Amino acid sequence: MFTSQNALTTPLAVSHLARRFQQVRAQTERLIEPLSAEDCQLQSMPDASPAKWHLAHLTWFFETFVLERFESGFKPFDRSFRVLFNSYYNGVGDKYPRPRRGLISRPSLQEVLAYRRQVNARVLDVLFRTGEADHIELAQLIELGLQHEQQHQELLLTDIQHALSFNPQRPAYARRWPLVSTAPQPLRWHAYDGGLARHGFDAGLDGAFAFDNETPRHPVYIAPFELASRLITNGEMMEFMADSGYQRPELWLAMGWDWVQSGQHDLPLYWQTEAQGQCRAFRHFTLQGLQDVDPNTPVCHLSYFEADALARWAGARLPTEFEWELAARLLPALPASGSQPGNFVETGAFHPLPQQQASIDAPAQMLGDAWEWTQSSYSPYPGYQPWEGLVGEYNGKFMCNQFVLRGGSCATPQSHVRASYRNFFPPDAQWQFSGVRLARNIQG
């Protein structure tokens, strides 16, 4: 097994896994339908990758970790791809320099799609041929490849939004705006008792798969706290700005204030301001093109620095990842991974949606819409062990100077999120659908 903790406890039956494989793989290709080959080559910063590179790298993952191991007489599709589409696996070998991924005009998009087709066929062939002895590990690796593919589906969308934002024509990825009717919803507080409770992945609660960083399940003591009933909105962000939020150092972490000043930040990413009569109107670039900012919609594309300053300005704080998880597990109808309701990529909005009705019993928008920054550093859980083998580089080596985000976004596949899921980004990252939910202490 590649895991010390057996993440995938009940592998799917072959036919089910094959169907899931085909669906997830096809979904990636569906995401590039609005894009040309030229669009698919764009790389607008070292942290982002071209859509074509995502398409190829996801296939490289199956070729390297599944076919090379399980296919008899394995031959690579193209020898140069091993380097070209290796992301960060030192154990696999050399890597093409990340900041140059936009320079890969060859292979062409058509060749990459052919690469995908061939590897798909070979993976399915291997899956159907593999005997029982190897089945569990093979199924685990395929499932890992699919979870990996879903992560990159979200990155493909956030990366293309970033790339298109540099085009003065402001091209829209999708065209369905306005998304819904909007009206203000008051922000309420939900109280939680705290205490000692177990956190982290639990196969019974969270489904059949987890990344190693969600394990092991372990006790954590939490003090009583309150959580906001919804995400912070664009309207509240505008109040922050009107109150000179970007100009007051006392609201910011020292590193955040340096970031504000050196980057001359005074608006969220993708926002622009226009004089409109006497007023200042805000527009922002979205996957639906350049649109007016709706005050009732959750604010997103915030850095941790902005999220933290916004919370401080509001007289509150960001939740810890365990507070978030505790609340998520108490949601009235949180089912196992794969079927919770919410604004995920499947809605086709590609943007957070305003809260539609008051939330009485539980916080709204916990899942989907926007990832929620937590104040928790991305650290190993007590007893954490990275997976064994080459895939051990998947998560553990990034546990430094990053913060955990929880809950998924409008660009996340619905079946990819669970209460134990830990996303993570450095505190200056803005290009994800990252938003804010407030928390506060309950004074004893």
Q: Binding residues for its own copies, per CB under 8 A?
A: 36-39, 41-42, 44, 80, 83-84, 88, 90-91, 96, 100, 102-106, 108-109, 163-164, 166-169, 171, 196, 218-223, 249-250, 252-257, 304, 320, 375-377, 379-380, 382-383, 393, 397-401, 427, 441
**Peptide bond connecting 216 to the previous residue in cis, omega within 30 degrees of 0:** yes
Owner of token pair 């919770």: 340
Q: How far is the CB of 225 from its own copies (least distance, A)?
A: 8
Q: How far is the CB of 50 from its own copies (least distance, A)?
A: 10
Q: Residue 344 or residue 424: which is nearer to its own copies going by CB?
A: 424
Q: Residue 18 or residue 253: which is nearer to its own copies going by CB?
A: 253
Q: How far is the CB of 187 from its own copies (least distance, A)?
A: 22
Q: Please give the single-letter amino acid code of residue 15.
A: S
Residues in contact with 96: Cβ distance below 8 Å, sequence separation at least 6, in sequence order:
83, 84, 85, 86, 104
Residue 15 to residues 22, 141, 195: CA-CA distances in angstroms? 11, 16, 44
Sheet containing strand 371-377, edge to edge, reads 423-425, 403-406, 371-377, 434-435
Q: Residue 75 or residue 106: which is nearer to its own copies going by CB?
A: 106
Which residues, in sequence order, are bridge partners of residue 197?
Answer: 220
Q: How far is the CB of 105 from its own copies (least distance, A)?
A: 4
Q: How far is the CB of 6 from its own copies (least distance, A)?
A: 16
Q: Residue 37 or residue 187: which is nearer to its own copies going by CB?
A: 37
Rounding to the nearest 10 degrees, give the CA dihedral for residues 43, 49, 50, 51.
-150
Q: Residue 309 or residue 367: which is nearer to its own copies going by CB?
A: 309
Tell me the torsion sign for CA atoms 260, 318, 366, 428.
positive
What's the CA gap between 66 and 68, in Å, rounded? Answer: 6
Q: Residue 132 or residue 250: which is nearer to its own copies going by CB?
A: 250
Q: Please give the single-letter amino acid code of residue 361.
A: D
Burial class (CB in 10 A: 0-12, 13-18, 19+), 25: buried
Q: How far is the CB of 2 from its own copies (least distance, A)?
A: 15
Q: How far is the CB of 222 from its own copies (least distance, A)?
A: 8
Q: Residue 162 or residue 230: which is nearer to its own copies going by CB?
A: 162
Q: Residue 210 or residue 220: which is nearer to its own copies going by CB?
A: 220
Q: How far is the CB of 250 from its own copies (least distance, A)?
A: 7
Q: What is the DSSP string of 111-154?
A: HHHHHHHHHHHHHHHHHHH--HHHHHHHHHHHHHHHHHHHHHHH
Phi, psi of 353 (to 5 degrees): -115, 150
Q: How far is the CB of 321 from its own copies (least distance, A)?
A: 11
Burial class (CB in 10 A: 0-12, 13-18, 19+), 379: middle
Q: Residue 13 or residue 255: which is nearer to its own copies going by CB?
A: 255
User: Do 7 and 213 meet the contact criterion of CB atoms below 8 Å apart?
Assistant: no
Return the structure tokens found at 401.
């100077």
Q: Residue 70 or residue 403: which is nearer to its own copies going by CB?
A: 403
Residues in the chain: 444
Q: How far is the CB of 226 from its own copies (least distance, A)?
A: 13
Phi, psi of 372 (to 5 degrees): -110, 115
Q: How far is the CB of 399 from its own copies (least distance, A)?
A: 7
Q: Residue 4 or residue 182: which is nearer to its own copies going by CB?
A: 4
Of 23, 63, 48, whose CA–CA distance to 146 is shortest? 23
Owner of token pair 């070292």: 46
User: Do 299 and 373 meet the contact criterion of CB atoms below 8 Å apart?
Assistant: no
